[in-house]
Structure 1
Amino acid sequence: MTDQPPPPPAVPPGFGPPPPSFAPGQAPYVQGPPQPPAPGPEFLAVDKHNSVVVDVSGVAFEMYDITVEFPWPEIRSVHYKASPNGKALMVAVVHVDGRVYECVVNAKPRELLQGWFAQLAWVLGYYRPTG
């Protein structure tokens, strides 16, 4: 009998020393920086002083150079209608805490309003489907 140590046990795949191509200090799986959300449809209504934007981020109102942004997680609902005289788009955002914010954008020519309604309905349906 010889006094030799027993052979080392077989190492299951995935265990043991790193392969020769592995450089110290280099992670074998590197995750890159977070990527922005995939682009989706956008809605934009704008006049001389005001604008409404609906996109992947949420809803934004600009009124006389003041911008207010509402990310989707902060929005309970979005409502829109024509102004009483039929010349403007009225959009309201209901915040999750119940506060309501409104923006009015004049439609010139007036026929633009119907196009805005169709596009806004489609974009809101994309981001906030009902049912």
Structure 2
Amino acid sequence: MEQRIGSSSQPLEGAGFDPAFIPGITAPVPADRKDTEAEDAVETEETASARDTEAPAAEAEEGAEAAQDKAEAEDEDAKAEAEDGQAEGEDAKAEGEDAKAEGEDEQDGDEGEPDGPVFEAADRRARIVADRKGVRLRLDEESCEFRWDEIGAVETEAPRFGKRFTVTVHTPDRRWYPIEIEATARARFKEWEEQLDAVLDAYFEV
């Protein structure tokens, strides 16, 4: 006969072994299981609280970043508008200067039909006009004007070589103001001298 060591039988539960046993009612939960469930409930509440706290903070941070991006975009737009306004102002200023220069040119030679002969010669830098008002010289941005009573003599010079025609205005106080006009052809020299002589004969009194 074999003898088994130990017992494989499970402890029996019931009224015969547990006086407090009532059929249909579960056995009491051990104390350590109650503690575990309580700890799990506390951890769940803490996790939910932390999540509720982190959500508004994240939303606030996103809102601050969006507001900063919007402010930077508005600053860039304002800067671009200011640069556009400055460019428009510079363009308007340049147009005003061009209109002023055109007005001066018209005033110099084109204000009405002049009475008597007129001499006028110009190149890309210099210009001379002689009419009944006197003699006007211009070189780049510099200009001067002489009435006939302010002129002591007018001298011309045509070089043997080259295409620069020189006109020099002398004043009674022994000052002189030369200006060189570059002709398109040397044949213009004779034409200019004839026109200037006609003006001097008509208006200049020695």
> Quick check: 2:151–2:172 contact (8 Å CA) kept in 1?
yes
Equivalence map 1:46-125=2 (5 Å): 46-125=122-201
Quote how far apart the aligned CAs of 1:83 are: 3.0
Match of 1:126 in 2: 202
Bigger relative CO (Cα 8 Å, ≥ 6 apart)? 1
AA in 1 matched with 2:124: K
Q: What CA distance in whole angstroms lies between the structure 1 residues aligned with 2:167 and 2:133? A: 17
Q: Which runs of 5+ in 2 are unaligned?
A: 1-113
Q: What CA distance in whole angstroms lies between the structure 1 residues aligned with 2:205 and 2:170? A: 16
Runs of 4+ in 1 over 4 A off after TM superposition: none
- How high is the TM-score relative to the length of structure 1? 0.64
Q: Which is worse superposed, 48-57 or 120-129?
A: 120-129
Q: What CA distance in whole angstroms lies between the structure 1 residues aligned with 2:165 and 2:196? A: 10
Q: What CA distance in whole angstroms lies between the structure 2 residues aligned with 1:110 and 1:96? A: 31
* SS of the residue 1:121 aligns to: helix
**What is the alpha-carbon root mean square deviation over aligned residues?**
1.7
AA in 2 matched with 1:123: V
- How high is the TM-score relative to the length of structure 2? 0.42
Q: What CA distance in whole angstroms lies between the structure 2 residues aligned with 1:63 and 1:126? A: 26
Q: What CA distance in whole angstroms lies between the structure 2 residues aligned with 1:40 and 1:114? A: 20
* SS of the residue 1:68 aligns to: strand
Quote how far apart the aligned CAs of 1:39 are: 2.3
C-alpha distance 82-129 of structure 1, shift in aligned 2 (>3 A)? same
Q: Which runs of 5+ in 1 are unaligned?
A: 1-37
* SS of the residue 2:152 aligns to: strand
More strand by share: 1
1:42-92 deviations in whole A, cap 9, x for unaligned?
A: 100111100111011111111012111011111111111113524121111
Q: Whose Rg is larger?
A: 2
* Equivalent pairs, count: 93
Q: What CA distance in whole angstroms lies between the structure 2 residues aligned with 1:113 and 1:65? A: 25
More helix by share: 2
Q: What CA distance in whole angstroms lies between the structure 2 residues aligned with 1:86 and 1:129? A: 32
Q: What CA distance in whole angstroms lies between the structure 2 residues aligned with 1:98 and 1:75? A: 10
1:13-44 deviations in whole A, cap 9, x for unaligned?
A: xxxxxxxxxxxxxxxxxxxxxxxxx7221100
Quote how far apart the aligned CAs of 1:97 are: 1.1
Q: What CA distance in whole angstroms lies between the structure 1 residues aligned with 2:142 and 2:176? A: 17
Match of 1:44 in 2: 120
